[in-house]
Amino acid sequence: MMLILIGQRRVGKSYMLRQLHNWLENNRQSATVVYINKELQTFGNITNAEELYTYADSRMQSDGNNYLLVDEVQDIDRYEDALRSLHAEERCQIVATGSNAYIFSSELSTRLSGRYIEIPIYSLSYREFLEFHKLEDSDRSLQSFLRVGGLPGLCHFDIDDEAQVRDYLQGVYNTIMMRDVISREEIRNVAFMENLSHFIADNIGKLISVNSIAKFMKSQGDNASGPVTSTYIKYLCKALLIDQINRFDIHGKKLFEQNFKYYFADHGLRNFICGFNLRGSIEKIIENVIYNQLRISGYQVTVGVLRAGEIDFVAEKKGQTIYIQATYLLASDETVKREFGNLAGIKDNYPKYVISMDPVSGELPEYPGIQHLNLRDFLNMEL
């Protein structure tokens, strides 16, 4: 069975593959390990399935005690043909990484169906962030996490130095946009793609339609149709820069196919795009962080739709569901009524949470069965 590690660039896939490479060399000394890293010029001559197969085949033992490790395999044309052949011949155990969601979901599912396990790799959770940066759990540490995000490479920089953080995130963002979006998809209207990315970053957590995006972009001088806008959004999703979240009718138990929410795979990149303007974006960032925590914990996430309102997150895993409302602070009776009242409209017994930055947690007497959690407490929970 092949193992495929998939995730946005710079979330740690390459590091994990190198760790596996080192472990194999130290613990499987009789085996042959063929390691290909498509981000290195050394392997620039491996561009298609035939070259991949020939390179791997020429370096493997005949007894099948072989491992093939390929980093950023999507950069090899028709890579799936070579992997399928090597797998069918039982030549080796294959572990590969990739940074393009649709290439894997379409090509692997059709050509390699039943032969691989996909392992998603995410940016750091809050607890992992604390470990990487050697920080104690505190309000100040949470503020740092909300500001810079969870890309592992930031551990080599001073996260209190905004210039260092900005330079690093700019490098990551430019790499994703140039290699996984603009170059791969042969984008001609680069300015529109950049403006679209900024629009989505500024509107995370809002229900928006493709037509409304196109209309707004047109008002700003970017004249692109709804279909073109939809295609460009798919490119950003393919590059694993953003996720598109469907709406789910809680009472009717069905998905809607119009109007979506968008969240960034790493909220630090979102903050970079928006100029680190956290003061006016804190509620959006909190939502993005909660969404990513749910995904890291293995949940499938949708936006809940009720007759009288909306539930920010409906998260399902192994037949269990949790409902979550997110807000910055419960600063008014109106906010309390909106966040708790919407959850009170759900008449099942699954856990229901309101998450905010307020320091006090627990139930409110007028809304029994609904737990209020501080964001730090939620991020430290075992979900």
**Residue 101 binned pLDDT confidence (cut-offs 50, 70, 90):** confident
Question: Residue 116: its pLDDT value, please?
Answer: 84
Catalogue all structural domains in the chain, each as residue range(s) with its CATH number.
2-120 (3.40.50.300), 126-379 (no CATH)
**Residue 107 binned pLDDT confidence (cut-offs 50, 70, 90):** low
Q: How far apart are CA 67 and CA 26, in angstroms?
A: 13
Q: How far apart are CA 181 and CA 170, in angstroms?
A: 15
Across 93-102, 112-121, 250-259, which has the greatest mean pLDDT?
A: 93-102
Question: Residue 105: its pLDDT value, please?
Answer: 60
Q: Could you tell me if 301 and 289 are in contact, meaning their C-beta atoms sit under 8 angstroms apart?
A: no
pLDDT digits (tens, 9 = 90+) for 238-288: 999 999 999 988 877 778 777 899 999 999 999 999 998 888 899 999 999
* pLDDT over threshold 80, residue 113: no
Question: How much is the pTM?
Answer: 0.94
pLDDT digits (tens, 9 = 90+) for 203-252: 999 999 999 999 988 888 888 899 999 999 999 999 999 999 999 888 77
Angle of CA points 65, 50, 68, to nearest 5°:
25
Q: Could you tell me if 278 and 315 are in contact, meaning their C-beta atoms sit under 8 angstroms apart?
A: no
Q: Region 194-207: what's the mean pLDDT?
A: 95
111: closest CA among 141, 88, 134, 145? 88
Q: Region 283-300: what's the mean pLDDT?
A: 98
* pLDDT over threshold 70, residue 312: yes
The pLDDT > 90 percentage for the chain reads: 82
